Amino acid sequence: MTSPEPALHPVASTFVRRLHSVEDAAEVLSVGRTTAWQEIRLGRLRTVRSGRRRLIPTEYIDEYVELLKREAEAA
């Protein structure tokens, strides 16, 4: 007599992206790619470099959102 095999439960992989391309960050922020690059040039949206790529850490996206909120409150 064999015992029944235990039910296999797939492990849910929770992959959280921490670095975003400028295009992905623009999508997250609901702005266009051109606007994202303009905000980077103005120093309002910070980035990091990885080789030749310019990436935006999630915390910099959050900082940019907070900046926009502060500006909205001040207006």
Rounded to an integer, what distance in angstroms lies between the CA atom of residue 31 and that of residue 54? 17
pLDDT (tens, 9 = 90+) of the chain, 75 residues, equals 555 665 666 666 788 889 999 999 999 999 999 999 999 999 999 999 999 999 999 999 999 999 999 999 998
Q: Is 56 exposed, middle or buried (0-12, 13-18, 19+ CB in 10 A)?
A: buried
Global pTM?
0.78
Distances (CA, A) of 33 to 23, 64, 71: 6, 15, 21
Question: Which among 62, 53, 49, 22 is positioned nearest to 38, based on CA atoms?
Answer: 22
